[in-house]
Amino acid sequence: MVYQPVRSCVLSDSIPEDDDLPEVEVLTLPLDAWHRARGGRMVEFAGYWMPVQYEGIIAEHLWTRSHAGLFDVSHMGQLLVSGENLDAAVEAVLPIDLSTLKLGQVRYSLLLDENGGILDDLMVSRWPDQLYVVVNGATKWDDLAHLRMELPDDITLNHLEDRALLALQGPEAFAALEPLVSGEYPLSALTFMRFGKFTLAGAEVTISRSGYTGEDGFEISIPAENAEAVADLLCAQPQVKPIALGARDSLRLEAGLPLYGHDLSPETDPVSADLTFGINKRRRTEGGFPGATRIQGLLANGTPTRRVGLTLEGRMAAREGALVFSGDREVGRVCSGGFSPSLEHPIAMAYVDSALTAPGTVLEIDMRGKRLPAHVVPMPFVPHRYHR
């Protein structure tokens, strides 16, 4: 572990001097030395040192869109949940329908507060007699505390701190991974949002066909002690290069996927965020999860704002927090924005007045006093290429 003063990545008019900053413990991931040896530019993210880029964000982004990129997402929380009456206990906390989640399936869900605000978004997989849950790295300690408080005492919650998590993403991900794994069935048996147990680089691993780039790909849970061997083996494939945080963010933005802490927060509800697919049909009707009454009302009556996609002209990108206008009226706020390497123009996501969310609606974004023309467009900005 490394101890250094850590400065927020948020730009401010009054950044304190290093001497004024408290010492913050910054943790290292199993592949920390591996990233540094490959020229990774390391930054503090979610309490860990992580690479923000290797050869450059645009180059890494475009490589992933055309080949395959290997992402280290070991900062995320991997949990195993088990115990008597497991499904009922978890359904009291998450708006998921576990009666339809079969063995080997993965599903997106949400952790909500009592008012329906989003505490985190997460993935739930059905293992034999257990549920495997992956939560965001920036919120995992709060998530663990919340789940331990809300779940009954006879439910066991194990944090798999001894495992690493890698994501292999891109149109050539299957071709790179398939020759390297063995198991009871072929890797081709996995379709989008399904998982299986395999052997890779001599280690027993769990592989799901999922990811957060909009591309076909896999997330690989491995023992931390085997992480370097697996990463070396994958990057020895001609289709694969290591890809860092910067490209991961631009890829997920093009895919129209929200990032917790930016597009999602306790002040955000699933209906406004266009994430009602994370509340399964039976649960929308029956309720019985935190915030259900408010969310049912929003589903029936609509929300004041909605998350939409925006395309911008020119080269200047809209950034998080920029205000959105319709004429002289403020109608929303940008939650994520940047330049799209694939489309070669700026894009953004914003929460705007629900009356102004139709595709083609013309708006303006204020960036440092300059109004940037923007148009509402359907998301994703770049089509998903999941293997269904």
How much is the average pLDDT of 329-340? Answer: 98
350 vs 315: which has the higher pLDDT:
350
pTM for the structure as a whole: 0.92
* Out of 7-16, 23-32, 274-283, 308-317, least confident range: 7-16
**90, 96, 99 from 282: Cα distances, Å:** 15, 9, 10
- The answer to whether residue 252 sits within a structural domain is no
Q: Is there a contact between 106 and 123 (Cβ–Cβ < 8 Å)?
A: yes
Average pLDDT over residues 224-246: 98
311 token code pair: 């395309």
The model's confidence at residue 313, banded by pLDDT at 50, 70 and 90, is confident
pLDDT in tens, 161-179: 999 999 999 999 999 999 9
Model confidence pLDDT, tens digit, residues 74-89: 999 999 999 999 999 9
Residue 8 has pLDDT above 80, yes or no: no
Domain assignment of residue 167, yes or no: no
Question: In the numeric block, which tokens belong to residue 268?
Answer: 């955000």
pLDDT at residue 23, rounded to an integer: 59
The dihedral over CA atoms of 270, 319, 12, 353, expressed in degrees to the nearest 10, equals -50
Q: Is residue 53 a part of any domain in this protein?
A: no
Q: Which amino acid is at 308?
A: V
Q: What is the CA radius of gyration of the chain?
A: 21
Give the pLDDT band of residue 11 (cuts 50, 70, 90).
very low
Cα–chain center distance at 97: 21
> What region does 73 belong to: left with phi over 0, alpha with psi -120 to 50, or beta?
alpha
What's the number of domains the chain is made of?
A: 1
Please check whether residue 370 lies inside any domain of the structure: yes
- Judged by average pLDDT, the poorest of 11-15, 53-57, 80-84 is 11-15
Q: Are the CB atoms for 324 and 316 separated by under 8 Å?
A: no
Nearest Cα neighbor of 342 from 69, 66, 51, 68 is 66
Reduce the secondary structure of 141-196 to three states and give it as a string: HHHHHHHHHHCCCCEEEEECCCEEEEEEECCCHHHHHHHHEECCCCHHHCCCCEEE
pLDDT digits (tens, 9 = 90+) for 181-228: 999 999 999 999 999 999 999 999 999 999 999 999 999 999 999 999
**119 vs 24, which has greater pLDDT?**
119
Residue 6 lies in a domain: no
- In angstroms, the CA 134 to CA 73 distance is 11
- Over 80: is that where the pLDDT of 7 sits? no
- Rounded to the nearest 10 degrees, what angle do helices 57-66 and 245-254 cross at? 60
Q: Residue 348 sits in a domain of what CATH number?
A: 2.40.30.110
- Which pLDDT belongs to residue 18? 41
Specify the pLDDT at position 24. Answer: 67
- State the DSSP string of 39-86: T-EEEEETTEEEEEESS-HHHHHHHHHHSEEEEE-TTSEEEEEEETTH
How far apart are alpha carbons 238 and 236 in whole angstroms? 6
Assigned token pair, 182:
């063995």
d(CA 136, CA 123): 10
pLDDT in tens, 84-111: 999 999 999 999 999 999 999 999 999 9
- For residue 20, being part of any structural domain is answered with no
Contacts of 26 (CB under 8 A, 6+ apart): 1, 2, 3, 4, 6, 44, 47, 48, 49
Query: CA 58, CA 341: separation in Å to the nearest integer?
Result: 6
Range with the lowest mean pLDDT among 21-25, 81-85, 134-138, 343-347?
21-25
Number of H helices, E strands in the chain: 9, 22
Q: Which residues pair with 24 in a beta bridge?
A: 4
Q: Structural domain of residue 355, as residue ranges?
A: 304-377
Residue 189 domain flag: no
- Give the Cα separation of 70 and 240 in Å (integer): 7
Q: What is the average pLDDT value for the chain, to the nearest integer?
A: 94
Q: Has residue 343 been placed in a domain?
A: yes
**DSSP 8-class letter at 248:** H
Q: What is the pLDDT of residue 292?
A: 98
* AA identity, residue 112: L
